[in-house]
Structure 1
């Protein structure tokens, strides 16, 4: 497991090279028999059934608290907030680096200072729609627009 990304990786003991992708020439069965294979997609959940995620929050006038670190009085509609997120979604195009960059500059959450990283959390710690969306993602994948009382989010599950 990578200590920084909390994701499994492959390490070649002969060449001392590591990669996120399974080595060429290995079948699914070969990969399933490697040490640590339980951490791969579909494997064991993180210890304590916790997940780690980053998010990009766009608040709107109907949000529970329609203000943020960058805007004292948020007046945009929910529909406008969703359109903003869809623009970010297209710009991210699967890149975790772009996600963090956009979250840092645009998220209405204080987690913007950490690229949107919320750290590890377990069930019952987040609003239900956020929790369900996060637990429904595989590590390394991003949600579609998720609505909560806080606003609308894009969620990137990181572990």
Structure 2
């Protein structure tokens, strides 16, 4: 079956939650890019993008489409440490804390959220090392295979409105809240 996106073999369109824009990703090589890869059928891609990544889709239609595709929506608060995959963030250029220090910080945040002093979204805006912080940690909709396995397993195991305990991934340590 021909690729309906017009992209070369192995490439797919994904959606950047931090920039709220589509991008191109090759899961085999892990390459991602904003511009279509070489050998893309641009006419086919234009049609695909108009039908699937147009801003004309209402939030309720997007939610319905995502749920039909088995996707969920979650937010998170990420604390990176010196051994994280990329030990820098919008908050701190060179993160030097240990993993144990990151976990300790996250446990303090978890306690404040569970006690009702604040919400994950409020804390994520100020404290998360992810660029999703500006959206209260909201990662949008995602399906299986789009997040790191530990993150995905924890997020899909949550009920709507439920928050995880500490989840460790290569990116750092997270609190995850299932939104939808």
Query: Given the two structures, how large is their TM-score scaled by the length of structure 1?
Result: 0.70
Give the deviation of 1:113 after TM superposition: 0.2
How many residues get paired?
A: 117
What CA distance in whole angstroms lies between the structure 1 residues aligned with 2:154 and 2:115? 17
Residues 108 and 59 (structure 1), Cα distance of their counterparts in 2 relative to 1, 3 Å cut:
same
Residues 1:58 and 2:79 aligned together? yes
The aligned counterpart of 1:148 is 169
The aligned counterpart of 1:98 is 119
What CA distance in whole angstroms lies between the structure 1 residues aligned with 2:83 and 2:157? 26
Give the deviation of 1:79 after TM superposition: 0.3
Once structures 1 and 2 are overlaid, which stretch shifts more, 119-128 or 85-94? 85-94
RMSD (Å) for aligned C-alpha atoms:
1.8
The aligned counterpart of 1:130 is 151
Ranges in structure 1 where 5+ consecutive residues have no aligned partner: 7-44
Structure scoring higher RCO (CA < 8 A, sep ≥ 6) equals 1
Moved over 6 A (4+): none
What CA distance in whole angstroms lies between the structure 1 residues aligned with 2:135 and 2:164? 19
What CA distance in whole angstroms lies between the structure 2 residues aligned with 1:149 and 1:74? 14
The aligned counterpart of 2:139 is 118
Secondary structure class of the residue paired with 2:123: helix
Ranges in structure 2 where 5+ consecutive residues have no aligned partner: 1-58
Give the deviation of 1:120 after TM superposition: 0.2
Residues 1:87 and 2:108 aligned together? yes
Query: Given the two structures, how large is their TM-score scaled by the length of structure 2?
Result: 0.62
The aligned counterpart of 1:158 is 179
